[in-house]
Structure 1
């Protein structure tokens, strides 16, 4: 009975360790890919709306919220990619091209947002044409 219990404990501990490694790698990928930088940029814009005397407390609450978001995003990636996929993505982001893509992520987001807004404005005209 003790051997069975010991075996179960060892298997369970290794599974927990594997899941932690997977999640750690997934968060590393998210950081390397520039996704976390986008969240940081968006949240810094939010902070500008908070009175200066309350910003420190706001930042604490915001950071706690971001940690929850990072965990949920990591879980999302873990449901769609294998651990090996994530390791391969990390390997890509360690290359010069991967690093360049990462540094361009916030710029691409900003420019993409503008392109999307322009597209939406044009779409309104098309919709009005067919709604009359």
Structure 2
């Protein structure tokens, strides 16, 4: 009887460990994708925040900011894991490992900055249109 209980515990423990390892791999892939697609944008968006911190405290702030970003990546990874299968993440990551995928990662921050400028200009135009109809 003790042998059966031991074997059952061993099998269940091994199964739980295997599932945890699979989940860890899935989690790592989701975080990797987030870093590839959004990491540079987070850096660009955080730059004005960092510049508001006094020079003497900037390095310490950057360290805490980086730790905070790691926590954000973990939270965002949960969303990615809900929306994509691990196999889909593998295919998406494979795309980003191609020359055009690498170019997309490299170019996206520049595109986003230009798009923000265009969006701001459009917002000003929209205000003029809105004012016509608010009278």
Q: Give the TM-score normalised by the residue count of structure 2.
A: 0.89
Q: 1:5 aligns with which of 2, 9, 24?
A: 9
Q: Which gives a bigger RCO, structure 1 or 2 (Cα 8 Å, sep 6+)?
A: 1
CA distance in 2 between counterparts of 1:48 and 1:21 reads 36
Q: Does 1:66 align with 2:89?
A: no
Q: 2:112 aligns with which of 109, 114, 117?
A: 109
1:118 is displaced (CA, Å) by: 1.3
Could you say which structure has the larger radius of gyration? 2
Q: Does 1:23 align with 2:41?
A: no
State the superposition RMSD in angstroms.
Answer: 1.3
2:93 is matched with which residue?
A: 90
Runs of 4+ in 1 over 3 A off after TM superposition: none
Is the contact made by 2:35 and 2:73 (CA closer than 8 Å) also made in structure 1? Answer: no
1:2 is displaced (CA, Å) by: 2.1
Paired residues, number = 131
The runs of 5 or more residues in structure 1 that have no matched partner are none
The runs of 5 or more residues in structure 2 that have no matched partner are none
